[in-house]
A and B are shown apart, each in its own frame.
Chain A
Amino acid sequence: MSPRVTAILVVHDGTSPTGTAGLQGTLDALARQSRKPDAVIAVACDAPASVTLTLERAGVDRIVTSGERLKFGQALAAGVRVIEQPDGPDEFLWLLAQDTPPDPDALEKLLGALEIAPSVAIAGPKIKDAADGVTIVSLGESVTPFGTTVALVENELDQGQHDNVSDVLGVAPAGLLVRHAVWEHLDGFDPALGSADDALDFCTRARLAGHRVTVVPSATVFSGGSGIAGAARSGRPAARRKRARQTRGAQLYRRLVYAPTAIIWLHWLSLVPLGILRGIARIIGKQPDLVGPEIAAAFRVAFSPMRIARARKNLRDSKAVGWSSLAALRIPFAEVRRRRRLRRESGAVVYTVERSELRFFTGGGAWLVLASALIGSALFFRLLAASAIEGGTILPLSSAVGDLWSNIGYGWRDIGLGFTGAADPFAAVVAVLGTLTFWNPSYSLVLVTLLALPLATLGAWFAATRLTEASGYRLVAAVLWTVAPTFLSALSAGHLSGILIHLLLPWLFYSGCVAARSWGSAAVASLILAATLAVAPTLAPALLVLWLIALVLSGRHLARVVWLVLPSAVLFAPLVWQQGVVGRNWLGLLADPGLPLLTARPTGWDLLQGLPAGNPAWASIADTLGLSALPASLLVAILLAPLAVMALVALFLPGSARAAFLVLTALLGLATAVGSTHLLISVTGSQAASAWPGSALSLYWLGLVGAAVVGFDSLRRSAALPALVIGILALVVAAPMATSLATGGAITASNGRTLPAYVAAAASVDPSLRTLVLTPQPDGGVAARLVGGVGRTLDTQSTLLTTTPDITDNDEKVAVLAANLVSQGGLDPTALLSEYRVRFVLLTPPAPSLGEDVTAPADGMTARAATSLDSNASLAHVGPTDRGTLWRFEGDIAQAGVGPRDPLASTLVLVSLALVFGFALLLAVPTAASRRAAESRPRVIGRRGHEQAPRLTRAERAELKADAEAEKAIELELAAESESIDKAEAVATAADAAAPATEPTGDNERPALVPSATVESENNDGR
């Protein structure tokens, strides 16, 4: 009896992604077969009428139509259903899809393989890429002992090097020729499997039923890779994610189907936890887009018990031999490791770009940081022994790390009488700082101050490595950044935000300008951006503009650039909701966090020189020298002018795009600074403080210094002298300011308390006691604040309070109490003091109005308050303290009520913060692969002419674009990383693996587009 071949052609819309292997191409190829199929049955799934017409014109024997897009297995089943049951072993099914045109002799060769060996039930062709016609897409499949699918040959140029392969575990679905009887016996492809592993599963079952599966390298079928038969090969992110989900889903599905009944529950229980663990590993592996597919696949499989039960029954019915019969066909671990190593090497060797040495030590960077550290400790010599500092906007921190963290997010804020609200994002920064010195959180601010200079130098030096390879210019940049007038002013005024922003901005620049290159950089930059915005919300508009520009320029790495703002958005969400959306106080979002600081309003001229609060040091020098005719501001401006000139000159030099971006940054910073000085939004007592313009001036300075460095870099050696001069002039400007830091400055050592020791002692026994702090105001009014426990801390400051123009009920309550306490009225305050748990009343020295002494009305209020408090029968005069005059309430304090429970929103906020920041942190963790990937790019950004074109070691790959290759190499590395993840998981499930038989466990590897140098089939290896 002559063999009878029925070709089943699954058709969707008749096209192919590559354009050369459409339906017509496939039909033509069928017509050209040297051994024509005896019948052709087309299964048209959701196909347009034109497709049906094409099929009819081609003379297809039967057309089965379906209204929906069936999976390949389901479509085949529909096609097989219309033909008669086989009555012998010589009836064959040939599985084709619309985009799989076979070679003219393909069927003949396949049929030949089956005819000569009755034990062979399935024969698969060599599948090549239809687009180029020479790349092998698939030539047999296997699994590792743990069940990971392995393509024996993948993405390799066909030079006949694999043409001796024969027996394999499985073959790809496209062009597969199977005996019809076996197909019926095995019930065809598992309908639950999609385009991933459907043929492998079928072949595995065929093997277990006692048949052989071979691959016929001489038979060739081309594949367009549209995903009808076999996985789609599109590189689009959405397709990548879908492929990952299907592959992983098929993996887990097969695991549950193949597992022995006794331990199937163990596998089931491990599904979701493993999915989450693998998701985390994907994040660390810099593949955040594959986290969703991992978890989705786990859930999908976990909740499809019926399909699994049916598949298990099917397997049981057809199984004839044990799992051990497959052992020889699997790929042993040694081979898996060898392949992984080879691929990693091929990735590293092929696409290395020479990255210069960092030269931190040899280039003098380290010595500059050391010098900066020495100068810093000399300037802050008085703080060396301090355990806490205060002054300016600086307050001590809560003494327990737990308290610091409980003050972030959304919830009960124990400020005044307390309220439920959003914490400043800055509280999170404070919590991180305090945790660094967990034994004494307040000490972290001492460290910040002491190390401010060297940290600024270090950051600037690294930021400069993004702009120039010349060590000298990096040093100049570091010096210019360290002696920035705005930085020295912030140190002098004790403006914590101004100090921190100057330390953060260089790192934001360092990581932010390469964010599009890798997920790791994007994650680091997103974290630094969140900290930057939390420290100085005024920078948000300027940074938003820069981010939008980056977004426009991001190209195909849009996701990484979009991610940059996500942690910041989540961090600010509660405050934006409460302050902006509910409170309609959008401007209040820009308020500086921490203690409001009243500063003299600088002129625009000051701001241009980078001075956020005037220049008292230079003014006094000018006075001493009798230079009244030549104001200090003019002198400083002249000294700093060369820097601005250099920054602008850079615009005319090669590489001006970088300079233009940096000059734009400077202008944005300047505009923000001007805006800050016009925004008096933080209320303290009877006065409103402006936002600190110094933070924006740091951005301004960053742009100027950066553009100047770009200019140096473009001029090469000829800029050495100008650079030296600019550096020296900046040092000259800074010298008097730095000296005034050593002699004065607002930052002073403190004992870590903001209330008298007497209060602190009482609060240490009962921290829920409060102190009413009364501060006479310049206009004769009095500021009244309820302070809990040992006093105000930096982490309990809230811009919600300092910027709200409304009087709340709590404010009203405190005001009534305070007004009666500073008056000789008839109110008996006992009940109120008791209810509000006020044990102490502190009358502080009057608040000076800006630049003036204490006013007479303030003195009057001080006297009135002291007199009234003295005469109050329920208060006992404790006496003068270092913080003011203290009275003690002698009555009983009400029992502390149970504090209001944090609302559900509080938990939600904390969970989302933890998720997003955990995600970012995991993404930011460097791995060996991500380091290698980073090293494949030059350190500097945007400079033309120095970059070496990727060196191609394989002439055959020359047609591929260089950067696409580099990209693939990175992905390859990452894939290798994720394989090690698989291995870890495999170990976790090793107990299962040791179970009877050899049920496959383990995971898939990513279907990377691998330009592999070394692929050997197992047969070739002789194993």
Chain B
Amino acid sequence: MADRRRVAATSGRVVTGILGVALFAGAAFAVGQVELPVVAADVPRTSVTPTASDQTRLCPGPLLRQEIDASSGSFGAPAVTLAAPEGSEQTALSAPDNISGDQFGLPTVVTSSSADGEDAPLVAAAQSQSADLDDLTGFAATACGEVSADSWLVAGSTDVGRTSLLSLSNPTRADAVIDLSFFGETGEIEAPGAGGIIVQAGESRVFSVASFAPSIRNPVIRVRTTGGQVYATLQHSVVRGITPGGVELSAPTAPPAITQVLPGVVIPGTAPTTIGETYDDSIGALRLLVPGADAARVVITFASESGGTVPEPLDYAIEAGVVNEIPLSNLAAGSYSISMSSDVPIVAAARTTAAAGDSGDFAWFVASAPIDADLSLAVAQGQGSRLHLFNPTDSAIDVTLTGQNGAETGVAVPAGDGVVTPVRGGAAYTVSGAEGVHAQISFEGAGGFSAYGIQPANPLATPVTVYPR
């Protein structure tokens, strides 16, 4: 009896043990091998479109001529084109650095107030001016732009014969405290006095880049503000020997990003003759900076707007913090949209030079961000004005241009390609259906050579994804 019980107990234990071991081993195997579906909560999120604000565009005012004593003054008034709804106001800023006072006009802020609860009004403005002095010639057109707390100017030069004047206009209600950073071909430049510059509200200040960063061929300038914000522009003029070589008013390029697009870079058919300089800035070049600490690998692709042959994509490893110029001399005359993709954020712009009479004129083509579906387009007065559109997406985009008289022009932009279409100088257009397109306006004619990018409106008022947890 007792024996039988013991046998039963022992065999029970053996069965328990074998079962347990099998169960444990099975569980271990399952845990190690079997993939189970993950139950993930929906993260609550809400996309909020900020309330539309009053729209302001700042026109940087007349071109300046630097005197021997480094002071600067204006010599003529720019032509301003407005594409703004009725009721827009224009207010002049004070320009204490302009020795000519308000004789030839001042930096002007165009304000268009938004009705309550409505979308932001579509506002655009552009200005252009020709210079024909003995030391300053050429044509410069630029868009009147929005203030920013952080802008990158990829333009200018402080080499011999090159003058770069940095204009900082503060139309906001608060004084702006500005920190400037200068990068050159040797890396970041220690610039005494570049920090803590105060531009008072309603004031426009002009600084010579050479006073901060002298003898730099390829500067890139970062303008950061706290308090108020400024619209920064750079007036870049060239004198080769004793021959003036053109002027350009360059606006900030698109902020650092891993993709940059320069739509419609015009390679002119004729280049000015140059006298064997060590550095020939009349050759078209792409200026690049990797702002961070890590080197970038950048792939540059070209799309021809004229349908001609395009060069193979270029692949560059670019050191961080040092400004590089990549010559565009192997591009045939025509216009090209240049796309760059990088593994770390970069800033870029391109410069090309055209012959104009005895000398030449040059233009800066900045990178532009994709524009919104609807916008106003102001074409500055000038000869040979053309609109360049580039579509980086995978599907064709049909853009409609509506003139002031209501005439509509349809422009089909093929996927991954660019088109160019003539627009009338000094005219305002309404653009629709352009979401995702990069745009630029260029001027090429007997009067000179210039270009400006069309940046999306209200970059700091795009819809925000808010996570309430």
Report A's interface with B, CB cutoff 8 A. 416, 587-588, 603-605, 607-608, 644, 648-649, 651-654, 656-657, 659-660, 663, 666-667, 670-671, 674, 678-688, 777, 779-785, 801-808, 811-812, 814-816, 818-820, 822-827, 856, 860, 863-864, 866-868, 870-871, 873, 877
Chain B hits for A674, CB < 8 A: 31, 36
Name the 3 nearest CB pairs between A and B, nearest first.
A825-B50, A826-B53, A781-B465
User: Once the chains bind, are B44 and A644 in contact (CB under 8 Å)?
Assistant: no
A661 to nearest B CB, angstroms?
11
**How long is the Cα–Cα vector from A823 to B467 in the complex, in angstroms?**
15
CB pair A686–B43 under 8 Å, yes or no, is: yes
The reply to whether A667 and B458 form a contact with Cβ atoms under 8 Å apart is: no
CB distance from B95 to the nearest CB of A (A): 22
The proximity string for B residues 329-347 relative to A, scoring 1 for CB distances below 8 Å and 0 otherwise, is 0000000000000000100
On chain B, the residues within 8 Å of A683 by CB distance are: 41, 43-44, 467, 469
Contact B458 A807 (CB under 8 A): no
User: How far, in angstroms, from A644 to B20 measured CA to CA in the complex?
Assistant: 12
Question: A873 CA to B461 CA in the complex, in Å?
Answer: 16
Asked if B191 is an interface residue, CB under 8 A from chain A, the answer is no
Question: Contact mask B244-256 → A, CB, 8 Å, 1/0?
Answer: 0000000000010
Q: Which residues of A contact B465 (CB under 8 A)?
A: 686, 777, 779-782
Instruction: Return chain B residues, CB-CB under 8 Å to A863.
Output: 149-150
Complex Cα gap A680–B42 (Å): 9
Give residues of chain B (1-46) contacting chain A, Cβ–Cβ below 8 Å.
9, 12-14, 16-17, 20-21, 23-24, 27-28, 30-34, 36-46
Choose from A652, A805, A808 the contact partner of B42 (Cβ within 8 Å): A805
Interface-forming stretch among B78-86, B226-234, B272-280?
Answer: B226-234
B120 neighbours in A (Cβ, 8 Å): 826
Q: Does B406 contact A (CB under 8 A)?
A: no
Q: A685-B469, A687-B43, A824-B53 are in contact. Are A651 and B462 (CB under 8 A)?
A: no
B457 to chain A, nearest CB (A): 11
Sampled A-B contacts (26; CB under 8 Å): A416-B468, A603-B32, A604-B30, A604-B31, A607-B31, A651-B20, A654-B9, A660-B16, A663-B20, A663-B24, A667-B24, A678-B36, A679-B38, A684-B469, A688-B43, A779-B465, A781-B465, A815-B46, A816-B48, A818-B466, A819-B49, A820-B51, A826-B52, A856-B345, A867-B149, A877-B226
Considering the chains assembled together, what is the distance between the CA atoms of A416 and B464 in angstroms? 20
Given A681-B41, A807-B44, 10 other A-B contacts at CB below 8 A?
Answer: A604-B34, A605-B31, A784-B467, A785-B468, A803-B41, A807-B468, A818-B48, A823-B460, A826-B51, A877-B227
Q: With the chains together, A864 CA to B149 CA distance in Å?
A: 9
A607 cross-chain contacts in B, Cβ below 8 A: 31
Q: Which residues does B use to contact A, with CB under 8 Å?
A: 9, 12-14, 16-17, 20-21, 23-24, 27-28, 30-34, 36-46, 48-54, 114, 120, 148-150, 172-174, 226-229, 255, 257-258, 345, 458, 460-469
Decide if B150 touches A651 in the complex (CB within 8 Å).
no
Q: How far is the CA of A823 from the CA of B40 in the complex (A)?
A: 31
Chain A residues lying within 8 Å of B30, measured Cβ to Cβ, are 604
A822 touches B44 (CB 8 A): no
Q: Which of B32, B37, B41 contacts A805 (CB 8 A)?
A: B41
For B41, give its contact among A671, A680, A781, A868 (CB under 8 Å). Answer: A680
Residue of B nearest to A648 (CB): B21
Known interface pairs A679-B39, A826-B52, A826-B53. Does A783 touch B466 (Cβ–Cβ under 8 Å)? yes
Q: Would B50 and A814 count as touching, CB distance under 8 A?
A: no
Chain B neighbourhood of A784, CB < 8 A: 466-468
* Distance in Å: Cβ of B228 to nearest Cβ of chain A: 7
Closest to A828 in B: B51
Instruction: Name the B residues within 8 Å of A805 (CB-CB).
Output: 41-44
Q: Is the CB of A651 within 8 A of B16?
A: yes
Contact check, B464 vs A826: say whether CB atoms are below 8 A apart: no
Output the residue of B33, B41, B228, B257 with the most chain A CB within 10 A. Answer: B41
Q: B residues within 8 A CB of A818? A: 48, 464, 466
Known A587-B39, A604-B31, A816-B48: A824·B460 in contact at CB below 8 Å: yes
Does the CB pair B39–A681 fall under 8 Å?
yes
Write the nearest CB–CB distance from A338 to chain B, whole angstroms.
Answer: 48
Q: How far is the CA of A695 from the CA of B18 in the complex (A)?
A: 28
Q: Given B31, B227, B228, which contacts A608 in the complex, CB threshold below 8 Å?
A: B31
Decide: A870 and B226 in contact? CB cutoff 8 A: yes
Cα–Cα, bound, A660→B285 (Å): 78
Q: Is the CB of B467 within 8 A of A688?
A: no
Of chain A, the residue at the smallest CB distance from B35 is A604
Q: How far is the CA of A659 from the CA of B12 in the complex (A)?
A: 13
When C-beta atoms are compared, the residue in chain B nearest to A416 turns out to be B468
Q: Chain A residues with Cβ under 8 A from B461's Cβ?
A: 823-825
Is A823 within 8 A of B462, CB to CB? yes
**In the assembly, what is the distance between CA of A961 and CA of B13, in Å?**
29
Chain A residue at minimum C-beta to C-beta distance from B463? A819
A775 to B174: give the CA distance in the assembly, Å.
26
**If A688-B40, A807-B44, A820-B50 touch, does A864 touch B460 (CB 8 Å cutoff)?**
yes
Q: Which residues of B contact A684 (CB under 8 A)?
A: 469
Cα distance, A782 to B467, chains bound together (Å): 6
Distance of B52 from chain A, by nearest CB (Å)? 5
Known: A674-B36, A686-B43. Is A819-B31 also a contact (CB below 8 A)? no
Task: Find out whether the CB atom of B41 lies under 8 angstroms from the CB atom of A814.
Answer: no
CB of B27 within 8 A of CB of A670, answer yes
Chain B residue contacts of A649, Cβ below 8 A: 17
Most buried by B among A653, A659, A818, A819: A819
Return the chain B residue nearest A652 by Cβ: B17
Contact A656 B173 (CB under 8 A): no
Are B467 and A686 interface neighbours, CB within 8 A?
Answer: yes
Instruction: Give complex CA distance A815, B469 in Å.
Output: 10
Give the docked Cα–Cα distance between A649 and B52 (Å): 73
The residue of chain B having its C-beta at the shortest distance from the C-beta of A667 within the complex is B27
The listed residue with most B CB atoms (<10 A of its CB), out of A670, A804, A867, is A867
Question: What is the bound-complex CA distance between A816 and B48, given in angstroms?
Answer: 6
Residue in A closest to B116 when the chains form the complex, CB atoms: A826
Q: Are B23 and A667 in contact (CB under 8 A)?
A: yes
- A806 contacts B44, C-beta separation under 8 Å: yes
Known: A678-B37, A819-B464. A608 touches B17 (CB 8 A): no
State how many angstroms separate the Cβ of B417 from the closest Cβ of chain A.
27
Residue of B nearest to A870 (CB): B226
Choose one: A588, A680, A815, A866; the contact of B48 (CB below 8 Å): A815
* B50: chain A residues within 8 A (beta carbon): 819-820, 823-827
A638, chain B: closest CB distance, angstroms: 14
Residues of B within 8 A of A781 (CB): 45, 464-467
Give the Cβ gap from A989 to chain B, nearest Cβ, in Å: 59
The 8 Å CB contact of A825, one of B17, B51, B226, B228, is B51
Q: Would you give the shortest CB distance from A710 to chain B, in whole angstroms?
A: 12
Residue of A nearest to B9 (CB): A654
A660 pairs with B44, CB closer than 8 A: no
- Return chain B residues, CB-CB under 8 Å to A685: 467, 469
Chain A proximity of B15: nearest CB distance (Å): 10
- Structural contact, A680 and B24, CB atoms closer than 8 A: no
Question: Of all chain A residues, which has the CB nearest B257?
Answer: A856
Chain B residues closer than 8 Å to A678, beta-carbon distance: 36-39
Note all chain B residues with C-beta closer than 8 A to A587: 39, 41
| Interfacial chain B residues near A783, Cβ < 8 Å | 466-469
A870 to B467, CA, bound (A): 22
Residues of the A chain whose Cβ atoms lie less than 8 Å from the Cβ of B33: 604
Give the nearest-CB partner of B54 in chain A.
Answer: A826
**Which residue in B23, B48, B173, B345 is a CB contact (below 8 Å) of A873?**
B173
User: A867 and B150 in contact (CB under 8 A), knowing A652-B17, A777-B467?
Assistant: yes
Smallest Cβ distance from A365 to chain B, in angstroms?
A: 30
B44 contacts across to A, CB distance below 8 A: 683, 804-807, 811
B109 CB, nearest partner CB in chain A, Å:
15
Closest Cβ neighbor of B13 among chain A residues: A656
CB-CB under 8 A from B39, the residues of chain A are 587, 678-681
- A867 in contact with B229 (CB, 8 Å): yes
Contact check, B466 vs A688: say whether CB atoms are below 8 A apart: no
| A651-B20, A812-B46 known; A825+B53 contact, CB < 8 A | yes
